[in-house]
Structure 1
Amino acid sequence: MGAATPRKPGFSLYWEKDAVMAVDQRALPHAFELLRLDSVDTLIAAIQNLAVRGAPAIGLAGAFGVALSARAHHAAGAVDDTAVQADAARLAAARPTAVNLAWGVRRALGRLPGGPQAVLDEAMQMVAEDAAVNAAAARRAAELVGSLLPDRPLRLLTHCNTGRLATAAGGTALGAILKLAHHSRVAQVMVDETRPLLQGARLTAWELGEAGVPYRICVDSAAAAAMSQGLVDCVLVGADRIAANGDTANKIGTYGLALAAARHGIPFIVVAPESTWDHDLPDGSGVAIEERDPAEVTTYAGTAVAPAEASVFNPAFDVTPAELITAVVTEDRVVRPRPGHHEKPLRHRIAELVKEFPDYPKASIRYQDLSPLYADPGLLADASEHACNHFSGRFDRVVAVEARGFALGAVMAARAGVPLTLVRKPGKLPGEVQSVSYALEYGEDRLEVQQGAIAPGERVVCVDDVLATGGTLRATAELVEASQAKVAGAVVLVTLSGLLGAAQLQRYDLLSLCEVAA
């Protein structure tokens, strides 16, 4: 294994003159070097020492390794099948966690009866397919992020490296980020440094810099703090293995990011090719987690930084449970592992559940009953997630209006981890209260909130079930402002069209999840 003349191919690894050419990822960002890998042993070494890394890339490397073996064990028009099978077993075991490696080896072996050229042709076809797969998955993921977080430049966070260096070309999660950047949807990317080998700081930062995308490097332990400060709108990561139930193995530190994202109501999206799914693995408990050399932790640049007798826990990967993942995006589909997620748009699901009762509570009134929405816990969870994502990082408290606003308001507050304050009709709250009156079609009514329940300076989202004429939510906003707090916006499950309620709230960011006829 040696360094070849540096140049920048469109692919991170490819076949040239009887050898595999691969970008040496250990040299970046200081130097761009290509390795010439002309034997199974040198290829295995490159995989194990992370000169070649990234689940899709090592899957392709495994296929090329079978091609190298088939060529090496070919004589007199025949291939030594036993020798190639032995090499294939060594290749597949080079890194046990990523399923792509075994997949690539297995697929290339399937062409062995056709001879060495058939195996090589298959490996080269896999490289071309990988580039197309990555482009499709990245496009689908960018579209999903755009639908979840519309109409503003985004602050994204990513972990490890999932760009063209980790794949044949294009990248998965980083590919999606670059797609969003191409459409001017990226304000900044927070790049986890990714301990202990700094694939984020060395490789992802290098790729983003080459693409001209603004980024900041973040120490791994600061990512949760960045989320708490409203610096992250969405997390995008790759995967090394996905179990049948959606549990996902990825670079160590991913699980912690998913926990923090769930705590702050931030979408957590996994982008990976279909080949990363291991449908024979029921859940993540069966993933073999590779542990790496303790010296990666106890030394830095060859200098000891820990006591010589220190023991080390240095797993290369962790497993993120499916319930913490907003969506897994592949080239073919969007899978939502969380219970209650559906492909049908939320507004359509709400509209289908709202039940109309004519002439209730009196003649000429068309009453819209939302009771079926509350009977569907998956829908209420999804409505809450959508609202929390819309206002991500922009609110400190939820204020819910009596009485049916309490349901969505409570779920939102729990999901975002912020306090909930209840606004009620007169006589329902003990102690000193603030109150405000508002007009009804005939007469007026009042709303009240306890004194001190809303702190000055807080950013508040006001929540109700239905927006009709807008008087109730407008009064709620006035209560918030009377407490010297700021109205970050308002959320309603349903707006009754034709009643002009939205006009009462035009000063505020109004999120209406569905509109039905009054």
Structure 2
Amino acid sequence: MSLESVRYSRGSLQVLNQLLLPHKSEYEPVTGVQQGADAIRTMKVRGAPAIAIVGVLSLAVELTTKPCQDVPSLITFVRESLHHLVSARPTAVNMKKAADELNAFLAEEADKPGATSQRLTESVVQWAESLLKKDVEDNQMIGDFGAKHILEKAGPTEKVCMLTHCNTGSLATAGYGTALGVVRSLHALGRLSHVFCTETRPYNQGSRLTAYELVYEKIPATLITDSMASVTMRERKVTAVVVGADRVVANGDTANKIGTYQLAIIAKYHGIPFYVAAPSTSCDLSLPTGGSIVIEERPSHELTDINGIRIAAPGIDVWNPAFDVTPHELITGIITERGVFKPEELKDGLTKGQ
């Protein structure tokens, strides 16, 4: 059984506080929108898909326990709540997409004859709950598509060695994972020889979270520092690199955890395929290039302190962008729940049939 980043039942939401991992597994209640936004902003919950899920479910919980009394107040509350949730961490596009879609859905439902506050509330709650279920299904498809694509270039019985960055597993999603879902699918097929995960400084999502998941799932894995990636690719015969994404734009440029860009450059030098694994909800086709992506900057203490203990020289300036943008030219393929696309094929691939 995969780890759960969220536990939800109608009217109740709990999030696994990822700030406490790997030393303590503690689920904390989220009773409404403000707590949901706080959990996202402080990174108790993180990962673009999980951010959207916790956001809309925190809204669903508050509507269930504190229902609005009339349609206008309901529409206003939903609109303002979603705006607040989007602002918690702006780089990840999933929450913004979910907000836009839910606002549009609510407006359409409100225009139907006989619309009442009670009926609309039920519709919003059901919409939020469907997002949770769909994320797990999409992630499993991402894992299977990615594993199949990577194995097409291997021998019929050859096992592959992967390298991944940050955390993209069950803890970053509703379950299964994106990039780590690809690793999980390869392992399930018996075709994974090993996976290397970076520590992912400065917040150590790799050493705290990905390593935790890999040990939990009993997947053969080794933790490396971020600065070991080059020598690992060369000496340990890495087959492919697979990472997640917080936002993929129309030309395939991808914003992901800081350090992803340098991995793509290193992979290109060594002739190793570099894949981005992300649901279509992480793809923002409204932006033409990665230069338009707003990059979140985090507090300086995340870089200067570890567990509250200062490790950096007092007085030193700090620049702490949470993400970087990998140019599409460095990306071999973008793995989605609809298939694997070259960056230049992504826009047509996602819009076809819509």
TM-score of the two chains, using structure 2 as the length reference: 0.89
- CA deviation string 1:123-180 (max 9, x = no partner): 1111111111111111000001101233322221000011111111111111110111
Which residues in structure 2 correspond to 1:31-430 (within 5 Å)? 31-71=24-64, 74-78=67-71, 80=73, 81-112=75-106, 113=110, 114-150=119-155, 151-337=157-343
The CA deviation at 1:229 is 2.1
The CA deviation at 1:307 is 2.5
Do 1:12 and 1:22's aligned partners in 2 also have CA atoms closer than 8 Å? yes
Do 1:62 and 1:105's aligned partners in 2 also have CA atoms closer than 8 Å? no
Distance of 1:31 and 1:224 partners within structure 2 = 32
Partner amino acid for 1:42?
Answer: Q
Partner amino acid for 2:25?
Answer: F
Which one has a larger percent helix, Structure 1 or Structure 2? 2
Distance of 1:9 and 1:72 partners within structure 2 = 29
CA pair 17-9 structure 1, distance change in 2 beyond 3 A: farther
Partner amino acid for 1:140?
Answer: F
- CA deviation string 1:283-339 (max 9, x = no partner): 100000000000011112212122221111111000000010000010112111279
The CA deviation at 1:76 is 3.2
Which residues in structure 2 correspond to 1:440-455 (within 5 Å)? none
Partner amino acid for 1:15?
Answer: Y
Partner amino acid for 1:98?
Answer: A
* Higher RCO by CA contacts (8 Å cutoff, separation 6 or greater): 2
The CA deviation at 1:9 is 8.0
Structure 2: segments with no counterpart, 5+ residues: 111-118, 350-354
Partner amino acid for 2:99?
Answer: V
3-state SS in 2 of match to 1:187: strand
3-state SS in 2 of match to 1:242: strand
CA RMSD of superposed structures (Å):
1.9
Which one has a larger percent strand, Structure 1 or Structure 2? 1
**Shift >6 Å, 4+ stretches:** none
- CA deviation string 1:42-97 (max 9, x = no partner): 11110011111111111112222332454466343545122332221111111010
The CA deviation at 1:11 is 4.0
Partner amino acid for 1:328?
Answer: I
Distance of 1:20 and 1:304 partners within structure 2 = 34
How many residues get paired?
A: 333
- Is the radius of gyration larger for structure 1 or structure 2? 1
Do 2:11 and 2:64's aligned partners in 1 also have CA atoms closer than 8 Å? no
Distance of 1:87 and 1:127 partners within structure 2 = 19
3-state SS in 2 of match to 1:74: coil
Distance of 1:35 and 1:54 partners within structure 2 = 17
Distance of 2:128 and 2:208 partners within structure 1 = 28
The CA deviation at 1:19 is 2.8
